[in-house]
Structure 1
Amino acid sequence: MLRPHKISNLSRAFVLHARTLEQLDARGLADGLEAVGRPLDSLRLFGRLTIELSTLRSRFNHLLVIPQYEVEKALQRRAVEAGVDFRYETELTGLVQDADGVTEVRGPGGAAGSLRAAYVVGTDGMRSAVREAIGLPFPGRSAIRSVVLADVRLAEEPENLLTVNAVGDAFAFLAPFGDGYHRVIAWNRARDVPDGEPLDLDEVKEVTRLALGRDYGMHDARWMSRFHSDERQAPAYRVGRVFLAGDAAHVHTPAGGQGMNTGLQDAANLSWKLAAVVQGHSDAALLDSYQAERHPVGKAVLRSSGGIVRLAMAKRPWELALRAALTAFLNTVGPARRRAVGQITGIGYRYPAPRGAHRRTGTRVPDVALEGGRLYETLRGGRFVLITPESYEDQGARKDRLAVQRWASDRRTTVLVRPDGYVAWAADSADTARIEDAVARYVG
């Protein structure tokens, strides 16, 4: 794996949502991250809209406040244990596809070299060299310019774990690192300057006071910077043997904290499919479903994060009236509020299902109780999980790819769960022949 730099604490992401925590749980990482981060069971938007997360049908019925670098460290440890070879300070300079795929790179000190791989996944951010190498455009626009970032100490501790508000032209967000510093993300619409314009602590304090009413006695800034937030999405997430995920495929405003989460969910969707194809258990056509399943999610996240920012920064009377009406609607109409929560947390998305498929096909499966334990514990083997009301013995040589479990309840539906926790196939009643046919078709 090419990695230009070692893990940095200058990350922008600070939250893990329920669906991402579930995906991390399926890899045995969630409990460790929960021990490091701090849970938050409700969000408050626009001063009036309260989103309760404690009612989520998930083991992780909260938002976890945790810096991105802690997540990266956990993922890196797991990758190293799995034998991943990280190449630091290595730049991708070109990419040529053939029957197997070739990546040309330039290593430390400018030494030329090449790496050969069956597939390439570009997770190299907004300015993706992989995306450029395969000739994909990145249409969109800059949504917010001159956002200020700062890591500071505070003389006064904020009342809430996450502090966020917007007033007039100003927006500010505060989140703790856990080491005595807080990250400040703030924006003053009235001060639109280039990213390279010098930034001092007085400006950070001023815009924070405008948005939050006070600056909490900010001092001892260890880092400050400006950036601009774009809304962009690649038209395709796959070209031949090359794939895009995360910010290389889509970027959007930080509203709702969906950026890192969406990228990790991209990876969870693609990883098991690549493994199945590389190991010869599935046809390469399976990889086409990555685009079909994840591109619509990326598009929806662009819409929702952009909508939150525009409502937060409402200024004209008609905009303020629209925000008030929408807030009242979501506060009083349960189904609409649950849909909004499902989008932000990621648990509400479902993937397209073939015509005539069972109604559960393509839906996320929560961490249901099984006779042998929890579902997501069973998924930690990277296998499909067949959940049946009756005993079933797999007749194929699939022990390394299929775990068979029985419901801990009296449910009668038979469900084949993909390694990423979504339903591949289901039937309200199924005999051994039907189950065997489904297992052969999906597990290989």
Structure 2
Amino acid sequence: MSAAEVLIVGAGPVGLCLALALEQQGVRVRIIDKEPSFSGESKAVTIQPRTLELFQMLGVADRLMKDGVVNPVMNMHVGRKRVTVLRYDRLETAFAFYLHLHQGQTERVLVQALGERGITVERATALEGFEQDAAGVTARLARAGGEREEVRVPYLVGCDGGHSRVRAVLDLGFKGARYDDNWIMTDVRIPNMSLARDERHGFILDRFPFVVLNLGNDYYRLIAARPPGSPLAGQVPTLEEFRAIMTPLGLGHWKLEEPLWLTHYNPSQRLVSDYRVGRVFVAGDAAHVNTPIAAQGLNTGALDAVNLAWKLRLAVRGKASTALLDSYHAERHAAAVTMFAQNDRLTLLVFGANPLLRFIARKQLHLLNVPALNLKNVLGTSQLDLHYRRSPVVQTALDPPGTRASLAAFEWGRARPGDRAPHCMMLDAEKHTAMYEVLRATHHTLFILGGAKPDAARMKAVAEHAREQYGEWLIPHFVFHGQIPPGFDAGGAGAVWRDEDGKVHQSLGAKGAGCVLIRPDAYVAARFPLSATAGLDTYFKALLT
């Protein structure tokens, strides 16, 4: 019998991310994968800013940055003419760029981090089936040598890809369709690449795209798709096929050498009917597969993992309400629907069969030269504007009176319940520190804001109440606008920070004094005035049993 509290099926990036997040929170995990080793294929290569923020909280962002290639902008062309530049470098985040990194490298960083924590992926171990009851899940495992094992765990999570065994056993719907677009791709050495090497490049051609992504060491990912009716559909692409696409773009002189792989596929876009059935969950490609057009697959799966991890921590401790576990589906299913709609719009732009609609869509690219529209676009693709405002477990749903009361202390348009925690800098006695270095994936974070005229006694009273009632689940922080009051002593109730220029208060939407509670996945849970700590109680009473 296993001592694990969660069994993770599938050791791709999503399963590894979930294992790391759970281990960080003190949850005992086992992670299995039916394959004997890494696939060796590069697969997904783009890590979005929101994913990097969460990886920072998991302690692996710096390692990924060391191995990856930073690209702050993407040049968009129609034919040979550049019509706009997508400006990730203007995003308000510590990671204002695309990070390019082979999926295998991402997996190795996560495996190494798990190994340092005493967790090893059990490879060549497949899930044959499972049954669940009110107390747990009994899973049947089979190893390559024929050995079998029966495992009893409180919870099981399927991160086992588009052909998920977990999803099949649950008999979940997986609605969607396979697209006719025949994508081709290679990772190839280009020693004389003549475009800006630290930028992404996308070309929208007549009925398909051509994309160039820098992978480092003179290697580039080239992505294209064959036009409808191409006689090459279904065949492995050649470097000559890529050269034929590049030559009309003035890129035919590039040397294409030593390809790591050449592949083709017809993408699908499918979404599972339920992310949770009892004590079993699905995440990543087991829950959603999508076209590669916006580079969202791995990133959406990582957000699944971090969203689920803190809820499972409460569940294995016997503290999670049914509403909290159900919120995993409510939040992440809605996020996938939003992503799919974005992919559909991009597909119309690139592949649309109607010439007039295709022409209009291409003309709309010019609108992205308006800074506000450019920012709106990249906030979407970077997943920084993803929110859970309609979640059943944020203050807006749990405590409507408290939400209305919070408007006396907070602006409605900033850091609303369900929004991503903003990026801003705070100052302690020694140095400036980014908020995401303060947030913890293991706990809620309670920022107690002093405003222009801080009431230190009331701030301490809030912190003491929070620690006394919910100290196992949250960490308080005092934030003073300007100077810390002379003689202020937190008395061990929480860390103390200075908000030199008021940017922390402003980013959190505070008009003055107040409290902002941030979830372990770095989304705003609730806001309330210093005088209304009942808002904190209402939130946790809804989450905890």
Q: Which residue matches 2:175?
A: 139
Matched, 1:396 2:468: yes
Q: Which residue matches 2:154?
A: 118
Matched, 1:2 2:58: no
- Residues 233 and 251 in structure 1, CA contact (< 8 A), matched pair in contact too: yes
Could you tell me how far apart the structure 2 residues matched to 1:113 and 1:295 are?
33
Q: Which residue matches 2:382?
A: 345
1:324-363 map, 5 Å: 324-332=362-370, 334=372, 336-351=373-388, 352=390, 353=394, 354-355=396-397, 356=400, 357=403, 359=412, 360-363=416-419
CA displacement 1:54-112 (0-9 Å, x = unmatched): 22121212222222222222222222333434210112221222230122221112333
How far 1:385 sits from its partner (Å)? 0.6
Structure-2 change in CA distance of 1:158 and 1:127 (3 Å): farther
How far 1:436 sits from its partner (Å)? 5.3
Q: Structure 1 vs Structure 2: percent identity of aligned residues?
A: 27
Could you tell me how far apart the structure 1 residues matched to 2:382 and 2:368 are?
16
Amino acid at match of 2:380: Q
How far 1:316 sits from its partner (Å)? 4.6
Amino acid at match of 2:443: R
- Residues 166 and 212 in structure 1, CA contact (< 8 A), matched pair in contact too: no
Q: TM-score, normalised by structure 1?
A: 0.90
Could you tell me how far apart the structure 1 residues matched to 2:40 and 2:322 are?
38
Structure-2 change in CA distance of 1:115 and 1:308 (3 Å): same
Could you tell me how far apart the structure 2 residues matched to 1:433 and 1:323 are?
50
How far 1:435 sits from its partner (Å)? 4.3
- SS of the residue aligned with 1:54? helix
Matched, 1:365 2:404: no
Q: Structure 2: which 5+ runs fail to align?
A: 1-30, 407-411, 450-458, 480-497, 506-512
* Greater Cα offset, 32-41 or 86-95: 32-41
Q: Which residue matches 2:290?
A: 252
Could you tell me how far apart the structure 2 residues matched to 1:138 and 1:294 are?
15
Q: Which residue matches 1:71?
A: 106
Could you tell me how far apart the structure 2 residues matched to 1:436 and 1:292 are?
23
* Greater Cα offset, 279-288 or 269-278: 279-288
Could you tell me how far apart the structure 2 residues matched to 1:215 and 1:137 are?
48
How far 1:24 sits from its partner (Å)? 0.7
Q: Which residue matches 2:278?
A: 240
Structure-2 change in CA distance of 1:181 and 1:51 (3 Å): closer
How far 1:144 sits from its partner (Å)? 4.2
Matched, 1:303 2:341: yes
Q: Which residue matches 1:321?
A: 359
- Residues 365 and 421 in structure 1, CA contact (< 8 A), matched pair in contact too: yes
How far 1:10 sits from its partner (Å)? 1.1
Structure-2 change in CA distance of 1:432 and 1:323 (3 Å): closer
Compare CA radii of gyration and give the structure with the larger one: 2
Matched, 1:422 2:422: no
1:25-40 map, 5 Å: 25-40=56-71
Structure-2 change in CA distance of 1:384 and 1:62 (3 Å): same
Q: Structure 1: which 5+ runs fail to align?
A: none
Give the one of 438, 443, 447 matched to 1:378: 438
Q: Cα RMSD over matched residues?
A: 2.6
- SS of the residue aligned with 1:263? helix
* Greater Cα offset, 142-151 or 60-69: 142-151
Could you tell me how far apart the structure 2 residues matched to 1:97 and 1:432 are?
39
Give the one of 42, 60, 63 matched to 2:73: 42
Give the one of 250, 274, 277 matched to 2:312: 274
- SS of the residue aligned with 1:176? strand
- SS of the residue aligned with 1:177? strand
CA displacement 1:285-344 (0-9 Å, x = unmatched): 31100111111110111121232133123565312331144223333372x443322211
Could you tell me how far apart the structure 1 residues matched to 2:542 and 2:436 are?
23
Matched pairs, number: 442
Give the one of 47, 53, 67 matched to 1:22: 53
Give the one of 190, 193, 201 matched to 1:157: 193
Amino acid at match of 1:133: V
Could you tell me how far apart the structure 1 residues matched to 2:167 and 2:346 are?
28
- SS of the residue aligned with 1:28? coil
